[in-house]
Structure 1
Amino acid sequence: MARPLSRRTLFQAAALTATAVSAAATGRAVAASNAPAAAPRLPAAWTVRPFALEDVTLGPGVFAGKRQLMLDHARGYDVHRLLQVFRANAGLSTRGAVAPGGWEGLDGEANGNLRGHYTGHFLTMLAQAHRGTGEQVFADRIITMVDALTEVREALRREPAVLSVEGRFGRAAENLRGSHQYVDLPPAVLADSPALTLSAWVRPAHDAAWARVFDFGDDTTRYLYLAARNGNGVPRFAVTTSGPGGEQGLDGSAPLPLGEWSHLAVTLADGTGTLYVDGTAVARNTAMTLTPAALGTLAHHWLGRSNFPADPVFAGAFEGVEVFSRALTAGEITELRDGRAADASTGRGDLASYAFDETTGSTFADASGRGLDATLRRTWGAPSHPGFLAAYPETQFIELESMTGSDYTRVWAPYYTAHKILRGLLDAYSATDDGRALDLASGLCDWMYARLSVLPAATLQRMWGLFSSGEFGGVVEAVCDLHAITGRAEHLALARLFDLDRLIDACAANTDVLDGLHANQHIPVFTGLVRLHDETGEERYLTAAKNFWGMVVPHRVYAIGGTSSGEFWKARDVIAGTVTDTTAESCCAYNMLKLSRALFFHEQDPAYMDYYERALFNQVLGSKQDRADAEKPLVTYFIGLTPGHVRDYTPKQGTTCCEGTGMESATKYQDSVYFAAADASALYVNLYSASRLTWAEKGVTVTQTTRYPEEQGSTLTFGGGWASFTLLLRVPSWADAGFRVTVNGRAVPGTPVPGRYFGVTRTWRAGDTVRISVPFRLRVERTPDDPSLQALLYGPVDLVARHPGPDALRLGLYGNAGLSGDLLPSLTPVPGSPLHFTLDGIELVPFAEGTEDPTHAYIRRSEPRVIFGTSDSGVANPARSDGTTLLDEIWAAAPFRDKGALVARVRSAVDAWVSAGLLSRADGDTVVGTARRATYAD
């Protein structure tokens, strides 16, 4: 019988009862980190299962080194910066933290319409870091974040409450940028007054134009307002009964300083308006014929909000807001600048007066005697369900429901952001057993179900078909994982509400419809479908996912394992024709690895792990720069594959989706090194990577010692007790130079086949040693649409040329090719630098090295003359119309058992080319003679 899995592995196996979840959700769980789950189960469809991150320890090597760089970032980054956008949205104090910026800031791309997603990524990184290392610092940071998010959700459930801060003379009320809060005054504030004075102390926190201090009006036709900044950055007062074109206004002469208190006042009477800043008149207009009385009864009386919906909400603090029914004198304005109205000769405003001394609640007392108490409100009202949790208003979700076209500046993938938060919370729960994280996750799904379950099916299909705006990432996978814990029917029903039927049906029918689709919007859809199959048993989901994978691999995959061009897929088998500076979005590789892994749980096709090795050892490793930084994860977004491209490790102002998935990738390198058969009858070794597996179910440990890929092989050493099972060793599809296995020094009988697993069945004892030898060869990989554009691969390693661009490098490789077909003899190793070579003075290095050197991921193959073993025939290398050269045809038959076999191949190829009129007989004889005289490497 299998040992019960810990609650930390719940997303790999366990499903807890709803009763247990309810108990855990009442507070922070105190279960030991290795406490068994209440009701462990594996999805019935899984024929293998993964090991938990804590069961596999990384040994010294490239993966441990890259992970250490990311762990340093995870320790050093101030998590309160991530929480800033959540706290601001809820109107809570941000504790002086500065928002991360980029996609997480209101000034970044699309005005921060994706903010909050990065917090989810960071939670997942911390959870994986804690599980992989056991270091308490990561758990402590998770708890800090869950504390804050719990407080945020509670604040969002309530009416907004005043954020009291120190003011100019006493207390003040602050509106945080991103809170969307404003002060709502009762009707009839202006009381049809023929004259007016507005007075307020303000401390602007941002320089956004058209943020209002006052705005009294009906719509965008009848209103008066006082803006902290107009389009030129200076204060403006205006009044109109005919919209912007009829405004009578006053403009200041200088911007208000940010972060400092300024006194603003406007007087209006007898056709004259005057604008004061800090007691000084800065503008006067003697042709202002409109008065408050001319506006009539107005619907809205706001502090901090504009009647123009596109205008920003005022970000900053208010104190001492006074509204008078007369025009104060300059001297009286000076008094208000120098102290509180209650202490000035003016007294409190007779139309309205707010000191903002309140330190709690959402109501501000009016001291005018008219009883016009004001109320703090959100522009978007209240969440539609108490489970709502986000770093921006619910309006993005609401607007998506009526959108018919894509516009990410209005709505940018809100369900994608919800997914990242949900995933981070679930991972936080799996790492710490903090029941509050699970409660937040469950509430978030309850809110999503409440929104989506009432929408017509046609609306959902339209939403999910929108590029970018309707992107929902891996939300289905995460919701299914939650359902595996709670067992609640609503959660499974929610997961199915994201079905995009036209895509699922096409892929289930194996109809390739990927051309023109946004790649990373759709890859995680299929990982979700695999999990939906697990939870529902519906074969359509799994079939669609398998077929989809086959449409991407290899038909839309670059040599490094990445996919997409400018974030989109192009036509099948067009690789050379899609190489740009914006190829291979890093998120795509991350999600293709997840999908490959999920499919392997159902069908142990080695092709899934062959792809996994390719993408992991090349793009994923190479997407992380080889230096630490506490402020930035230093991960690429795109990896340009054009000649001389320099990788950008601080893309798009930071905090992008790819930096988020990059943080996750670098803290789970060990997640697919080993799998176990569901019945524990076999152990799969999928990747050759220095690591130590603790297989508690069998009572054994397996220590893998290797410098792979610098070392062409690996050693497995068993510890613990006796255990009988089959050790399944992956034979890479490229391993055609021989794959050999010994156990305790003796060769294992059998013939390993490239692209399959090689099994060794025995009762394993402590001290047993398995040695795997995997010789590498240098080979080329031709792009299907342009065979002369080629990538160089040495074993699992993609070699790139370090050289400036912009022209493609033209290199020849057949000059000293070995009889085995190995092209490596044409290269010169760099002493002291494993996996580094030179060719024609150009250095070739592993793509995985995260430097900012210009590189060529593809080279232009150039073999102008027929050369064998460095012997030059002097004959031009002829080519067919499809680009295949004579040398290509000759070496396609490698390996050769000896020189005679090679010469025979040369003779037969030459005869065919002479017969086809592609080569003269004389030149053909010269080629055969050169092949016979040449000396070859093995």
Structure 2
Amino acid sequence: MAPALPRRTLLQAALLGTAAPAMTYAATGRAAAATVPAPSAWTLRPFELKDVELGPGVFAAKRRLMLDHGRGYDVNRLLQVFRAGAGLSTGGAVAPGGWEGLDGEANGNLRGHYTGHFLTMLSQSYASTGDQAYADKIRTMVGALTEVRDALRRDPRVLSVTGRFGTAHENVRGSYQYIDLRAAVLGGAPAITLSAWVKPTHDANWTRVFDFGDNTTRYLYLAARNGSGVPRFAITTGGPGGEQALNGTAALPLDRWSHLAVTISGSTGTLYVNGAAVARNTSMTLNPAALGTLRNNWLGRSNFSADPVFAGALDEFNIWSRALTAAEITALQNDPASATPAGRGDLASYDFSETTGGTFADASGRGLTATLRRTWGGPSHPGFLAAYPETQFIELESMTSGDYTKVWAPYYTAHKILKGLLDAHLATDDDRALDLASGMCDWMHSQLSKLPDATLQRMWGIFSSGEFGGIVETIVDLHSITGRAEHLALAKLFDLDRLIDACAANTDTLDGLHANQHIPIFTGYVRLYDATGETRYLTAAKNFWGMVVPHRMYGIGGTSTAEFWKARGVIAGTISDTNAESCCAYNMLKLSRMLFFHDQDPKYMDYYERALYNQVLGSKQDKADAEKPLVTYFIGLRPGHVRDYTPKQGTTCCEGTGMESATKYQDSVYFKKADSSALYVNLYSPSTLTWSEKGVTVTQTTDYPREQGSTLTVGGGSAAFELKLRVPSWATSGFRVTVNGSAVSGTPAAGSYFTVPSRTWRSGDTIRVTVPFRLRVEKALDDPSLQTLFYGPVNLVGRDASTSHLQVGLYGNAALSGDLLPSLTPVPGRPLHYTLNGVEFAPFHEGTEDPTHAYVRRSEPKVVFGNTDSEVANPAKPDGTTLLDEIWAGAPFANKGALVTRVRSTVNSWVSAGLLSQVDGQKVVTTAQNARYVD
């Protein structure tokens, strides 16, 4: 019997027979831009960003800050690391720093990710506004990345710059380039002079001007900077411990030409800097002849692999088979060697006059042509595009544990770039962007399809190094446009089977996992369900969502502590400065949205409102900045925490997703049924929907969440459809809908969608939605006394510098409805701002730098009704439930009498249980009878 084919092989064979879907186009007011076809499995469909225009309000204000940042930012700064990696001119651009550069955390091993985010942000900005400035930036970036990919595919080429004399060659930092000289370059000469003009652009120690050797035992080198930052020449046949050296006295200046020369004659070696002898050793016993013919003869590269490659320009490198005199070296300062008494080097002479190609001619007459090379190997494979070498991806394949200083999530970064390119194509219809994206997937498929399943499973399970973000979602989206079977096969190669199988079985294995490494995986698996029909993907995603919400969710909608999940149900026990990584909220919103397309369970949109109106809005600072997007990494829930809007020097993953969030706030305000028979209003947000298919507009006029409701007005024409209005789960009473002033029949249920039956809507029809707010608390799952305050959808935070939880009582003047708001005092002229016990409470979504308290300690020491104190201590049961808790659990009360009846029955029960004395019980009842209440 023939051996069974692996599951992946069978899948790929099946996929090769799938038909390619046609590319679809959506008409816009600007140009025909491609769209990702909506999966047939979606029972709802989103509108495009261009179809929903935000009106004045908190979302528009936050978005304007981000739009201005993106519009003004020089994208050449982002392209710097890509161009450098390809050996192209960076035009003097300076990378933004932080994670997006060579000097950031973990040696810049995540560089390139932020460029992808920025492309997505620009694409969303252009799709929303039609502002050509964003399209121009997109085209600049796509054009540059196309040049980068082409450069990576070939051998390195000369980068000609202005030299000390004529032209010079520049090794751009990050290009990993060096010049390889022939083995005979030293010629076995016992006496020698080596001379070079250098213009270093970076101050890394141990960068070599030249290094000739066999290994790390037998060599001679000239370092532009030694461990003390000054030039050093050394020669040895016994490794570092046997070096005979010459050390300079001062560091070479950056971005300025300096001349270095070394002479050896007999027992004397001399180091010259700019014509002056700065070091002399008269006890040398080694010279090039003692080393013999050496294998590695390099300009700009060290025989010690950990040493950095020289970054800067090289001009006029000469080697003479004698020691030049001091006068001859002085003469080299002002003229090319060929115009001085010394003449060109007789062993080797390179003036770097080349402006094309990848070799340098030797003018010594010996014909020792030099070749430009990269330390990380030959040209990249077709389709590869990154700001660092393929080795990052290849090394991951043999790793068994994570080490982000060596390999930091290369497929995560690939996802951001891939997503940015796909979004660029969708926004501008630039075929170059689609070609780059498709090529990246071709390269990944060629790389990953060769690996055994066991290797893939190990890779994707490695913390940090194996993180791949939402790459599966983007690959499936790309496949829906290209129809390429290998693209869908590639998406399947990211299956993390143990996670999928556990979640499909509803087995919670999330404790200890890195949160944002796993959340975006599931958006991809939902899309794989759409593409393949394999139900385990969708089942796993739904169950996973339920493991996070509410079991690992903070009140603001965020999740994770120091990027990780702790034990299920532990909220109070994880409060810290590192709660709620902003990327987690971004990805949970995406997952919630996608699940809602399949299953219109209102819980998904309830979560969406919670996280969007609180954490996501609150993660963006309310301040303009041309340099940074000002978005939190960890939002922090520790008492007195001050939000950091420029974390880790900027350009983090969360600032990237924050840029995306702020330019797509409108993407889930409205959905439509797949057959366009119904319009879903998910969020109450000032906005105008242009429903071209129906020939109508729907405009929401509201100051929500400052206003407790919204007015929707139909415009443009007439159309028939059903209207589905979300009733938030917190809207437990008073939700009302009128059409043209007449009440719509039906009983709205909290946590549902209220249906206005299908009718032919005409221009001018008006729908008024009333959504009464009330102040309520949500208790931490593991400590009911630790609570967070909500007024309608808005999380209210105390602004106080104390680092201990604020003690808060809320029953003192509670309304008969159960609304706790009357216990707070409104701040005049500042909607949604209140004071309590001298502390201001304000919306979480305000992006200030005030110290905040998202959670407070509930403290109701006395039984108080209507601000009347009974002078009776508020007793508690062993589980922490107090007498007042049990009384107010019966709210709303129709009138004062209903409340008093509840008080009397509860008191009697507690007296009978021995939890309250008869005398104190009577005081409580009397106080309740005499108090005055807010309705």
Whether TM exceeds 0.5 here: the answer is yes
Cα offset for 1:911? 2.2
The C-alpha deviation readout for 1:672-726, integer Å capped at 9, x for no partner, is: 0000000111110000000001111112110111000000000110113322211
1:552-631 alignment to 2 at 5 Å?
Answer: 552-631=548-627
2:849 corresponds in structure 1 to 852
Q: Which residue of 2 aligns with 1:925?
A: 922
Shift, 1:929, TM fit: 1.3
- Shift, 1:42, TM fit: 2.9
> 1:383 Cα deviation (Å)?
4.2
The answer for the alignment partner of 1:821 in structure 2 is 818
Cα distance in 2 for partners of 1:19, 1:743 equals: 41
Q: Does 1:274 align with 2:270?
A: yes
Aligned identity (percent) is: 76
Counterpart code for 2:786? L
Matched residue SS, 2:902: helix
Matches within 5 A, 1:100-249: 100-249=96-245
* SS of structure 1 residue aligned to 2:584: helix
State how far apart, in whole Å, the 1-side matches of 2:22 and 2:676 are: 30
- Asked whether the 8 Å contact 2:37–2:481 carries over to 1, the reply is no
Deviation at 1:294, TM superposition (A): 2.0
> Conserved in 2, the CA contact under 8 Å of 1:31 and 1:433?
no
Q: Partner of 2:651: helix, strand, or coil?
A: coil
Q: Counterparts of 1:141-540 in structure 2 under 5 Å?
A: 141-540=137-536
| 8 A contact 1:530–1:541 mirrored in 2 | yes
Counterpart contact for 1:645–1:805, Cα < 8 Å = no
1:752-791 CA-partner distances (Å, limit 9, x unpaired) = 0000000011221111110000000000011011111110
- Aligned mates of 1:206, 1:450 — CA distance in 2: 36
State the shift of 1:802 in Å: 0.9
Q: What SS class does the counterpart of residue 815 from structure 1 fall into? A: coil
Read off the aligned partner of 1:851 and give its amino acid letter: T
Please say if residues 155 and 379 of structure 2, whose CA atoms lie closer than 8 Å, have aligned partners that are also in contact.
no
Matches of 1:74 and 1:873 in 2, distance apart? 59
Contact 1:380 1:393 in 2 (8 A): yes
Aligned-residue offset at 1:631: 1.1
Distance 1:306 1:30 in 2: 57
Q: CA deviation at 1:837?
A: 0.7
Maintained 8 Å contact 1:51/1:671: yes
Per the alignment, residue 914 of structure 1 pairs with 911
Q: Which amino acid aligns with 1:815?
A: G
Contact 1:565 1:578 (C-alpha < 8 Å) held by counterparts = yes
Per the alignment, do residues 32 and 794 of structure 1 end up closer, same or farther by CA in structure 2, a change over 3 Å counting? Answer: closer
- State the Cα distance separating 1:193 from its structure 2 match: 2.0
Gaps (5+ residues) in structure 2? 1-17
> 1:778-814: CA deviations, max 9, x gaps?
0001101111111000000000011112121111100
Which secondary structure state, in structure 2, belongs to the residue aligned with residue 309 of structure 1? coil
Structure 1 counterpart of 2:641: 645
AA at the equivalent of 1:760: V
Tell me which of 544, 551, 560 is aligned to 1:548. 544
- Distance across 2 between alignment mates of 1:67 and 1:398: 39
Which of 887, 892, 895 pairs up with 2:892?
Answer: 895
Kept in 1, the 8 Å contact 2:49–2:128? The answer is: yes
For residue 117 of structure 1, what is the amino acid of its counterpart? H
Kept in 2: contact 1:460–1:497 (CA 8 A)? yes
Q: Residues 470 and 929 (structure 1 numbering): CA distance in 2 closer, same or farther, change over 3 Å?
A: same
Matched letter for residue 838 of structure 1: T
**Residue 351 of structure 1: CA displacement?**
1.4
Unaligned runs of 5+ in 1: 1-14
Aligned-partner Cα distance in 1 for 2:286–2:886: 89
Seen in structure 2, the aligned counterparts of structure 1 residues 760 and 82 have a Cα distance that, compared at 3 Å, is: same
2:280 and 2:909 mapped to 1: Cα distance?
A: 96
- Aligned partners of 2:411 and 2:468 also within 8 Å: yes
Asked if structure 2 preserves the Cα contact closer than 8 Å seen for 1:73 and 1:632, the reply is yes
Given that 1:789 and 1:861 are in contact with CA atoms closer than 8 Å, whether structure 2 keeps it comes out as yes
Residue aligned with 1:463, SS:
helix
Q: TM-score, normalised by structure 2?
A: 0.96
The corresponding residue for 2:831 is 834
In structure 1, distance between residues paired with 2:31 and 2:268: 77
Give, in whole Å, the separation in 2 of the partners of 1:542 and 1:625.
36
Cα distance between partner residues in 1 of 2:707 and 2:78: 41
Q: Which residue in 1 is equivalent to 2:72? A: 76
Q: Is 1:664 aligned to residue 660 of structure 2?
A: yes
Offset at residue 171 of structure 1 (A): 0.6
Partner of residue 788, structure 1: 785
Alpha-carbon distance in 2 for matches of 1:937, 1:536: 57
Which secondary structure state, in structure 1, belongs to the residue aligned with residue 668 of structure 2? coil
Which stretch of the first structure deviates more once superposed, 660-669 or 387-396? Answer: 387-396
How does 1:672-691 map onto structure 2 within 5 Å?
672-691=668-687
Tell whether the 8 Å contact from 2:193 to 2:263 is kept in structure 1 after alignment: yes
**Distance apart, 1:41 and its partner CA:** 4.7
Superposed displacement of residue 552, structure 1: 0.4
Whichever residue aligns with residue 287 of structure 1, its letter is S
Distance (Å, rounded) in 2 between the aligned partners of 1:329 and 1:462: 62
Q: What do you get for the CA RMSD once the two structures are aligned?
A: 1.7
Measured against aligned partners, the alpha-carbon deviations of 1:390-444 in whole angstroms (never above 9, x if no partner) come to: 1111111111111111110111111111100000000000110011010011011
Range with greater deviation from structure 2 (658-667 or 692-701): 692-701
Cα gap change, 1:266 to 1:34, in 2 (>3 Å):
closer
Normalised to the residue count of structure 1, the TM-score between the two structures is 0.96
* The one of 36, 40, 43 aligned to 1:44: 40
Partner of 2:10: none
Q: In 2, Cα distance between the equivalents of 1:192 and 1:741?
A: 95
The residue type paired with residue 816 of structure 2 is L
- Give the partner amino acid of 2:752: R
8 Å CA contact 2:476–2:491 kept in 1: the answer is yes
User: Residue in 2 aligned with 1:731?
Assistant: 727
Equivalent residues of 2:809, 2:858 under 8 A apart: yes
Q: Structure 1 residue 874: deviation in Å?
A: 0.5
**Partner-residue secondary structure (3-state), 1:385:** coil
CA distance in 2, matches of 1:555, 1:82: 39
What is the letter of the counterpart of residue 830 of structure 2?
S
Q: Deviations over 1:322-371 (max 9, x none)?
A: 11222222122112222211111111111111001111111100011111
Distance, in Å, in 1 between the alignment partners of 2:387 and 2:27 is 29
Q: Which deviates more from structure 2 when the two are superposed, residues 441-450 or residues 264-273?
A: 264-273
CA separation in 1, counterparts of 2:238 and 2:713?
84
